[in-house]
Structure 1
Amino acid sequence: MPLAYALIAMVGLMLALTWGALQIQITLAGFLNGESLWSKAQKQSVIDLEAYAISGDAVDLAGFKRHYAVVLSDRWARDAIASGQFDHDKVAQAFARGSVIPDAIPGMIFILQHFSSAPHISEALRAWYSVDDAITELDEIAGELQRAYAAGGLQPAEQLRQRSRIHELNRFIEPRTNVFSVEVARGASWVGKLLFGGVVAVTLVAVLLWLGMARRILESIRGSEERYRLLFDSAADAIVMIDEGSGRILDVNRTAAAWTGRSAKELIGDRYVHLFLQPLAGQQAGRAATNALLAADGSTRPVETQTSVARWGELPVCQAIIRDISERVAMEQERRVAAEALASIAEGVVIADAHQRITSTNAAHTELTGFSSLALQGRRLGDTRRLPDGRALPKAIWDEVAAGGNWIGEVVSTRADGSSYPEHLSLSAIRNGEGHVTYYVAVCTDIHEAKANQRRLEHLARHDPLTGLVNRAEFERYCTEAIAQAERERLAAVVLFIDLDAFKIVNDSYSHAIGDRLLVKVGERISRQLSDGDVAGRIGGDEFTVLLPRLSLREDARAIVNRLLSTLSEPLVLDDYEVVLTASIGVAGYPLDGNDAATLIANADAAMYAAKTEERNAFRFYTPMMHADNRRRLQLATELRQALSRGEFRLVFQPSIELGSGRIVAVEALLRWQHPERGEVLPGEFIPVAENLGLIRRIDEWVLQATCAQIQAWDLAGVPPIRVAVNISARWFGHPSFVDGVSRTLQSRRVSPHRLLLEITESAMLRLGDDTQRTMQTLDMLNIDVAIDDFGTGYSSMAYLKLPAVTYLKIDRSFVTGLPGDANDAAITEAMLAMSRSLGLITIAEGIETEAQHEFLLRAGCVEGQGYLYSYPLQAEEIQALLSPNQQSGSPRLRLVPPRRG
C-alpha cells in the first residue's frame, strides 16, 4: 500500500507539473498574442496617424484612436500590476480590451506579478517600457494634427514636419517592438525548455524516490518476514499452520519440531490430527482444549491447544498454538494432592486473608470446633480464640508472623456449642513475589488429651507408678522445702526410712504380681498413719520413706514410728494367701543428722540397716557410728569387684555321706573368699553384696568352671569318681545363657553330666516362672541332675517335685536341728522323706551334728546326709587323700572332726 500511494502521488505530481506547464504555455501564448496585437496596434496607429496627417480624414484619426486605446489599455494593466496594488478584475478587463486570450490572462498577470525579473521577460518588459514616451508623443501629434485640421487645414511644411516626427518615432518604436517580440518568443522557448527539464527532473526525482521507497519497503517487508520467522521459530509454544480445507500441515516452528521429535520437512504435509493422542472432534476455534502431544519415540506431553482462522493471501489457514502445560499439570496435581492432604490432615487448618478474615477451613477443623467453613467465612481468626489468661490474641503475634517468623503457642478455642478446649495453635504467613502477606495459615490441634497425658506424665515423673507415692526425686524436693521451712522457724524435719523384712522371700515364693499388690497395700497403710503435711514416698523395691515436717524435736517422731511398726506387722490378705510382714525403720532429723535432703535420707537408711541387722521389726535413730557399718559394706563392695580379677576366691568341699554305709558318695562345692587383709570372708557376708552389685552370675560361672576343673584334676589323679554338687543362684538360673553355659563348661573339661549335681533353691525356680518347665527339660536331656535345696522353707508348690531333671531333695537344716526332740520338725521331716520315696527322689539332709539326728534320719529312710558330725568343709587335697585307693576304711562313719554332742 505505501508503494501504491507513492505511485499515485508521483503520477499526480507529474500531472500537476504538466498542467502547470500547460498553463505557462497558455500564458506565453497570451504574451505572444498580446505582443502581436500590441505591435500591430502600435504599427497601425503610426500608419493611421501618418494617413491622417496627409489626408486629415476623420476615419484615419478614429483608427489611430482605436489602436492607441489598445496600446494604452495594455500599458495601464502592466503598470497596475507593477504597482502591486491593483484590482484583478479591472486588470483582466484591460487585457481583454487588448484582445488578449482570456485563458492566458491569469497566467500573464501571475508572470507580470511574480516573474517580471525572469530571463527574457525582464528584457521584453524593458523594451515595452522604453516606447511609452514615444507612443504618448504620437498621441500628442494626433492632437496637434486634429487641432490644425480643425483650424482650417494643415500647411505643407507643417505636414512634412509632423510626418517627419511620426517617422522618427516609428523608427524608435519599431526596433523595440521587435525586441519585445523576440524576447517574448525567446522567453516562451526558455520557459518551455525549463518546464520540460523541470518535468523530467521532477519525474526522475519522483521515480528515484519511489524506487528508494520501494527498496526500503521491500527491505522492511523482508525484515518483517525474517523477524516473523525468528519470532515464529523462537516462540516458546509450538505453532502449526494448517490448511483449512485438507487439514494438512503447511508450516511448523522449531518448538513443534523439537516437541514431536520430527523435522519440519517430516511434519509439513502430515495431517494435524496425527500429532495428538486424543481425537480433536468437538474442538472449537478460539477456545483452548487440552490434549496429549505425541512424540516420535512414543512419549506424550500434556498440552493445551488453541486454534484461530487466518488467511495467507487467498488461502484460508488455521493457526494452532500448542502450549506445554506439563508444569501446570504438575502444579495442579500438587495442588490437588495438597488440597486432599489438607482435607484429610488430622489437625484443623484455617486459611485467612491478609486482614485475618477466614476464607476456608478443612474438615478436621469443622469436626474439631463444630463450625462449618461457610459459617466462619469473613470472621476474624482470633474471634473464637483467646490466650489461656482470657486475653484476645495480641497484635504482636500478627506483627511477628508478618515480619517473617511464625508463632506457636497455646490458646483456648471456642466451639460452636459454646464449650471451649485448650488448643495448640501454629501461625505462619504466605507471601507474594513482593514479600507482602497474602494469607495466614493456622494449624490447630486439640491438646486436651495431651495436657491430661502431660499431667499424668508429670505425676508419674514425680510419683511411683505402682503405689502412687512420691518418688525419690520428688521426695528430696519436699525434704529440701521442709528443711528450708524448719530453718526459718527453728523446728525439726524428720525422715523415716522403711524397709520390709523378708519381702524377698515373699516375692520369690509368690508371683511378682502378688508382691506388687503387697507393696500397694503397704503404701496405703503408711499413708493412713500420716497427718496433713506429711509426705510418703517409695524410692525403690520394698523401701519406703516418710517426711515429717515441722516437728519440735527429732524424738517426736517416735509415736508415728511405733504406729507404723504396728500397722505394718498386721497380716495382709492377698487372694487366698495371708502374708505377715514386719518392717525396719531408720530415723534421721534436721538439723541434728544432716543439713540437706540427700544426707538425711542416707542417714535414715543407715539407721534402718542398723535396725534390720540388730533386731528387725524395730526402729533406730541415726547415730554417727552407723556410718562405719555402711562404709564397711561399701568397702566390701569395692573389694568384691576386684576379687574375681585377683583370683581371691577358692573352693572347699563338704562330703555327703551315705547314711546306711558311711561312705563318701558326694561332695558339695562351697565358695570362700580369701581376703588378702581380712582373711577368709564367709559367703553369708559377701553373697548378698554380690547379688546387689549384679556380680553373682559371674561368681556362679567361676564356681562351676572351678568345680569342673577340680573334677577333671581328681580324675587325672585317679580319685574314684564321685558326685559334686554346685549351688546355683536364682539370677544365673533365670539367665537365657544358663543351660548353654553349663553344657559348654562340661564339654570343655570333658566331665560327664552325671558327675555334676545342680542345687537350686525353690525361690530360684519361682523366679524363673513359666520358663522353669522348659529349662528343666533341657537339663534332663543333657543328663544333668538337679537337687531342690532348702525345700519347705518357703511357699513352694509340690508341682516342682515332678519336673524333669529333679532327682534329689535336700532337707533344710532348720528342720534337722530340732530332731529328734521337736515333734513338729520330726513330723515334717518324715513327711518329706515319705513323699520323696513315693516320687523316687533321693533325699539329702543338711546340718547333721549329733548321733541322734543321724540315727533318726537313718530310721526314717533318709539316703544321704551332710554336717559337722561327719566333716567340716575340706580342701581339695584333703578330699583327694580321703578318697585315694590306699586310704584305710575300717570305720563305718567318717570322723575327721568330733561331733558336738548335746
Structure 2
Amino acid sequence: MRAGDTRVGELKARQTGDDESMIFPTDTASHCPAEAEFFLHLKPIESIRVQPPVVVPEQTALHEVIARMRVQRLDAILVGYDDGEHGILTERDIVRLLADGGAHGAVGAYASKPLQMLTARQSLYAAQRFMTEQSVRHVGIEDEDGRLTGLLCFADVLQSIEHEYANQLRSALRERDEALGLARFNLRMADRVFESALEGIMVTDRHAKIERVNQAFTRLTGYTEDEVVGRNPGLLSSGRQTPDFYKQLWHSLTTDGHWQGEIWNRRKAGELFLEYLTITSIRDSESEISHYAAIFSDITQRRQAEERLGYLATHDVLTNLANRMLFEERLTHAIVHAKRFGRKVAVMYLDLDRFKLVNDTLGHNAGDEVLKMVAERIVANVRANDTVARMGGDEFALVLEEVDDVRDVGRVARKLLDEVGRAIDIGDRQIFVTPSIGISIYPDDGTEAEDLILLADQAMYGAKSRGRNVFQFFESKMTSSAIEQLETLGELHRALEQNEFRLFYQPQYDLASGRIVGVEALLRWLHPSRGLVPPRDFIGLAERSALTVPIGRWVLHEACRQARRWLDEGFEFGRVSVNVSARQCFTDHFLSDLTTILSETALPAEYLQLELLESMAMNTREEIGILLRELATRGISLAIDDFGTGYSSLVYLKDLPVDTLKIDQSFLTDCGSGSTDDAIVRAIVAMGRALGLDVVMEGVETAKQLAFLQEIGCHQGQGFLFARPQPADQLVGISSRRGAELLAE
C-alpha cells in the first residue's frame, strides 16, 4: 500500500512538532535547486544502494526489537503482520516511546502501519517528492512482483545527491572550468540549507571551538555569531548536567560518532530552556575527527505540555486535589504499607449536603468557589502524608495512613465537620454547606482498595440517613447491602472475563425525513442464572468502581466492530454513539486505546460519536476541553448527553467542540401542556439551532410527543415510539422502515 495511518509514526511526529531535534530531510529537500532535482530525475531508485529490509513479526516483544536495533545500529526496522502487511518502527519512535514510558508489549502495537511503498524503477525525484509530500523519512521498495526488497531512507536520496556531486567534482579535476562552477553550486546549496534550517546549528573544530552558527541558533539562544565564534559551547551551560553526563556524551561521540538526547541550556538573557540535541562527529579523509556539528531545537513548551497532561491525568484541575485514579493508587500503596507494618488505614468518603442548591441559586462559578474552599479546609485539617481527593461533583475522599487508634479517625472526622461547616464568603454572601462523612477501616472492614471505598460510600449514605452533617463508621448492620454490592462487583469482574456483556442498539431518527441518522450502543448483562440484568442494577456500581475503564473499552471496541460490519453490509446507520464516563476519559491511555480500537476495527472516525454527561463536561471544563479538542481533530463526533439536567453555561458550551445536544427524556413527560418543561425544550432546540448543533430528544414514547417535537423544529429523536433497544441483528430490518411509517401516520 502507498498510503495509511500511523501509530507512533513519522507522520505524526512531523505534524505535531513533537520531533524537533534535528533538521528534517524533508525541510532541506524543499530548498533543493533545479540542478539537484535534475540528478534525481535521471536516476531510478534501483541505481542506489538501498538498505535490505530487516523484518520482525508483529508479536516480537518491543524490548527485543529495541535491543536488536541497537546491536545492528538500525535506524528503522520493519514489522510483518499476520495479514501480510508491513509496518515500520523508527529510532525516533523508540526515543519518544521511552520518554513516554510506553515501551511495553508487542512491537505490532506501536509500528506505523501500513508501510508506504514505491517501486524500484521509480525515479529518485519521484521518491523525494513522495516522501516530502507525505512527510515521511522511510518507504519500502518493491519489485515488479510486489515483493518487498528494500527500505529507502531519505538520507539515501540525499547521499545519492552527494555522490553525484562527488562524481562531478572528480570530472572537474579534468575540466577546471566545470569544477569551479560546481564547487560554487555546492557551497551555495550548503549555505542555503544551513541558514534556512529551523533548528539551531553549531559547527566546532576538533577542539570544540565554535566556528559557525546559523540564524536559528541566534534566535534560540540570543547569541549572535560574532559573540560565539572562537568560544567553547560551554557558554550555554545551565549547570544542571553533572560531569558524568558530559563524560558519557563525549564517550558516545568518540566511540559511536554521534550523541543525541535532552539537555538543559541557558540563553544569553539567563533563561533556562530544554533542548533536544544531536551532535555528530565529522571526520576528514584520514578518518580523523575534524569537526563536530550540533543540531538542536527548543522543546521546553513541549515538555511543559506533557507535564501538564500528566498532571491532568491524575489531578482535579478545579481543586488541585488528587483525582479518583490517583486516590486508588495511593490507597493501594497505603494498604501494602499497612500490611507490612501491622498498621491500620482509614478511608473517608465525604459528600456535601444539598450542594445542588448552591448551583441552583448562585450558579456554577459560585459552586466552584465553594468546592475550592472546601478542598482547602480539608487539606488544612489532615496530615501532610494523608491523601485528599475529589472523586467528582461534590464528593471528596481521604486516605488516613498509619492509624493506631480508630478514635483518632473519629476526631479527624469531627474536626472536618466543624471546619467544612463554617461560613464561606463568596462576594457579599455567606454560604453554609455541611458534609456527611462515611468511614471504613483497613483491615477491620476490608482488605482491598475497591472494597474500602465502597464501604465508606455506604457509610456516608448511612450518615445522610441520620440527618446529615454527621460522620458514620461502617457498621455490620450495613453489611447486607454492602455484601450484595461486593458480590455483584465480583460477578461483574467474571462477566467481563467470560464475555457475558452484550450491546443493544437504539436507533435515532431525523424527525423531518424519517431517515435513521444514528444508533446508540447500550450495555446489557446476560447473567448465566438471572438472565438479562437491567442496566439500573449494575451500571451505577460499575461506574463507581475500577471496572468502568475495562468495561468502557469493551463497549467501545464492540460498538466500533459492529459499525464496521454494518458498513460492509451496506446498512446506512449514520454513526454509532457510545457513552463514556469521566473516569474512562481521564485515564492516560484513553486516546491510545481509542486509536488502537479504530485501527483494529478499521472504522473511519467519522462514524463514531462519543457521548458525555452534561455534568461531566461542566465539572471538568479544562480537562474535558483539552480532550474534546483532540478528539475533534481526529474526526470523532461529540455529544452532550442528558442536556438540561445540569447547569451548562453557554459561554463554556460554545467553546467546546461538540456537535450534538441530547435532551433528557424527563422534559417530555407533560409535553404540549404549556408547562415549564415545554419552555425548556423549546429553548434548548432554539439554542442548538443558533449554535449550529444537532438536537436529539431522548425518550420519545407517544405520537403526541413526536408531534410536539416536529412543531418546535427538533432535529432528531429516539425512544420506544420508534424502537426499543435491541440486538444488532434485529435492528437492520426495522430501523429505516419504522421511521418512515411513523412520519406517514
TM over 0.5: no
Q: Give me the TM-score of the superposition, normalised by structure 2.
A: 0.42
Q: Identify, as 1 or 2, the structure richer in helix.
A: 1
Larger radius of gyration: 1
